[in-house]
């Protein structure tokens, strides 16, 4: 089965940090992170709205996603990508299905606003003022996150209390093949 886990959540909600913890513990999971790719390609220039870096970089992101989903056999892809609106999530999930995804799980980050602001302040980002982050947070949570946006399942995650093993354990209990190198194992959890 070709399975995609798509992160859903506002800026500064801990999506990338949480995904990094998952990948550290389960390195056989394929990982595509939009911000990492754009930073590697363009540095901070991609955040400048007067450049075309983000659009060009997204082509690279989608190339990686397509390559991963075109692999033979079972595939698990953790896709960490900003998606602000329901219509954007629909476009993303439709494209993932077009590329061969058979199951799309949304990891919806419900990090408290105060914590998002604290985390964002600690990061070295100068392109957004904190009031902008507050506005994004509130606008983000005002929009619905629903199965109708192309998801087979949506799981709420509070990165302050959810451990990656809980989510991967659910996956393994479903007895879907979980790739580890050349062989496949189904582990007891």
Distance in Å from the first CA to the final CA of the chain: 20
Confidence of residue 52 (pLDDT cuts 50, 70, 90): low
Q: Are 110 and 8 in contact (CB under 8 A)?
A: no
Q: In what side-by-side order are the strands of the sheet with 153-157?
A: 30-33, 75-80, 2-8, 103-109, 153-157
More confident residue, 160 or 49: 160
**For 164-186, what is each residue's pLDDT tens digit?**
887 776 765 553 444 443 333 33
- Average pLDDT of the chain is 82
- The pLDDT of residue 99 is above 60: yes
Q: Which pTM value belongs to this model?
A: 0.83
Closest CA to 99 of 140, 60, 71: 71
Closest CA to 7 of 29, 33, 39: 33
What is the phi/psi pair of residue 73, to 5°?
Answer: 80, -165
Mean pLDDT is lowest, of 44-48, 52-56, 146-150, for 44-48
Predicted local distance difference test score (pLDDT) of residue 181: 39
């Amino acid at each position: 089965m070709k399975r995609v886990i798509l992160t859903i959540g506002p800026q500064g909600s801990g999506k990338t940090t949480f995904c990094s913890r998952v990948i550290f513990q389960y390195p056989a999971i394929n990982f595509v992170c939009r911000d990492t790719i754009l930073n590697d390609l363009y540095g901070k220039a991609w955040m400048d709205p007067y450049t075309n870096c983000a659009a060009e970089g997204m082509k690279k992101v989608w190339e990686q996603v397509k390559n991963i989903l075109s692999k033979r056999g079972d595939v698990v892809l953790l896709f960490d990508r900003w998606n602000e609106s329901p219509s954007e999530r629909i476009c993303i999930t439709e494209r993932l299905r077009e590329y061969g995804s058979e199951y799309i799980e949304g990891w919806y980050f419900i990090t408290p606003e105060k914590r998002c602001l604290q985390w964002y302040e600690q990061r070295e980002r100068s392109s957004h003022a904190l009031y902008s982050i507050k506005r994004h947070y509130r606008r983000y949570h005002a929009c619905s996150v629903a199965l109708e946006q192309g998801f087979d399942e949506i799981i709420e995650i509070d990165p302050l209390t959810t451990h990656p093993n809980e989510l991967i354990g659910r996956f393994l209990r479903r007895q879907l093949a979980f790739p580890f190198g050349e062989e496949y194992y189904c582990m007891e959890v």
